[in-house]
Amino acid sequence: MHLFLHGDLDEEVYMKQPQGFEDPKQPQSVCKLRKSLYGLKQAPRAWNAKFTGYLPALGFKMSQSDPSLFVKHTGSDVLALLLYVDDIILTGSSDALIQEVIDDLSSVFELKDLGLLTYFLGIQISYPSSGGIFVNQYKYAKELLAKAGMTQCKACSTPCKPYSQVLSTDGELLKDPTLYRRLVGALQYLTFTRPDIAFAVNSVCQYMTAPTDSHFFQVKRILRYLQVTLQYGIKFSPGPMQLSAFSDADWAGDASTRRSTTGFVVFLGNNPISWQSRKQGSVSRSSTEAEYRALANTAADVVWIRQVLADMHEFLPEPPLLHCDNLSALALSSNPVFHSRIKHLDIDFHFIQERVQRKDFHVQYIPTDDQVADVFTKGLHGPYSQSIVSISDWVAQLRLRGHVWLKVSQLGRLLADVSLWLDCWYNPREFCCSIKSVIPCVLHS
């Protein structure tokens, strides 16, 4: 990429003379690089140092919570810039300030306006007439089905068999696990806008080393579920500036290791912005211990989100609310009295007690029937949409246009959600930096 030529090298690097440009008098000589080239191991780092080194001159400050986030405050206005290699998201509360940043960047780096942002790296974005922002991965999921040869497959109402347990030794080893690993890797990225498949995908990820035909059948079931849910996504809508989280655990749910599964989802207002389904690192001796570990992991994620919001000067009017359906775990989190049942736990897990005592969090019991994080710890019966409906608004696929490539992270969901609380409403415009890099810029309409 031409863009990487902006990066400065801190070490001496030599290359062979390029074909067609050899010096006939010195055919054995080599060239000393003055700038980084695409393909060098240090090229992305050199570009990152060059770009991030220029941002402070524009008034941006790196977030302490995420090194890829840069925030600029000018009076009551705020700009947020999210950087991943040479792909950038820029949003803010003032179109004049955003245009000023674009002009400043254009004076140093090559930018091209690509219009309204509607599609990037498999993620489609639309703006319903009813308001809000809708994101999904319809095209990405459809291409995934085609890659697996399952475009005409029989539909399935759930991504995994309810309460099923598949051992790592079940079935015969696949002769070539390449396709299995490719499909599972692609499914992992699909969970960016599809929390309903998070548990199922986490399950099949655990067999990457030695997958069997039984494990491959699980992957195919997820794809069969996608066949009838291609249009599912997440709609971000304006709501109260309040963080709330739901934490759950499936005690000893893994039949092979007897480890528990942690599941949680964090909401900003009514919008899900972070979720996880993950097997715990050690065996828990009781359901209370498993739930306590899950609650601690949920609290850690909420702390990070709260710090990101603070970097953007978005402060919560009330402490975040953590929901758990285990009374014993709630008692342990809010009671500093020593309990023999958790004395063996790592110190890291006890920080939630300190946070609750400082009133950084409020913990609250929620009945199991109302526990939305349950879908991240086990497979549930169909129709699956009835179990996931409280997590997000699923709406029909909208007509989208544009082709913009951008690498995003979980932080992108948070920025999209936070923009709904800023003073003005924005419509994204896309900017191309050099030839292949893209800067989608969110502008005030």
Give the residue extent of every domain in the chain: 2-121+404-444, 135-232, 237-376
**Type and span of the H or E element at 248:** strand 243-250
Nearest of 279, 290, 294, 295 to residue 341 by alpha carbon:
290
Question: What pLDDT, on the 0 to 100 scale, is given for residue 276?
Answer: 96
pLDDT digits (tens, 9 = 90+) for 269-283: 999 999 999 999 899
Strand partners, 325: none
Beta-strand runs (E) in 85-156? 87-92, 111-116, 119-120, 123-126, 133-136
Strands 321-324 and 362-365: parallel
Sheet with 321-324: list strands edge to edge: 271-279, 261-268, 243-250, 321-324, 362-365
Topology of domain 237-376, CATH: Nucleotidyltransferase; domain 5 (3.30.420)
Q: How many C-beta neighbours within 10 Å does residue 414 have?
A: 24
Cα–Cα distance measured from residue 38 to residue 435, given in angstroms and rounded to the nearest whole number: 13
Structure tokens given for 298? 């949920």
Query: Is the entire prediction scored with pTM above 0.85?
Result: no
Amino acid symbol at 252: A
**d(Cα 233, Cα 424) in Å, to the nearest integer?**
24
370: Cα within 13 Å, side-chain hemisphere? 9
pLDDT at res. 409: 43
Give every residue of the chain whose pLDDT is below 50, as ranges.
Answer: 1, 384-385, 387, 389-390, 392-409, 420-445
What's the token pair of residue 326?
A: 């285990």
* CA–CA dist 324, 334 (Å, integer): 12
Tokens coding 345: 């736990």
Res 194: pLDDT: 96
Interatomic CA distance for residues 110 and 432, integer angstroms: 8
Q: What pLDDT does residue 110 have? A: 78
Task: Please report the sign of the dihedral spanned by the C-alpha atoms of residue 233, residue 237, residue 240, residue 242.
Answer: positive
Q: Which residues have CB under 8 Å from 241's CB, separation 6+? A: 268, 269, 314, 316, 317, 421
Token pair of 361, please? 């969090």
Which residue in 35, 59, 39 sits closest to 49, CA to CA? 35
Is residue 333 within 8 Å of 295, Cβ to Cβ? Answer: yes
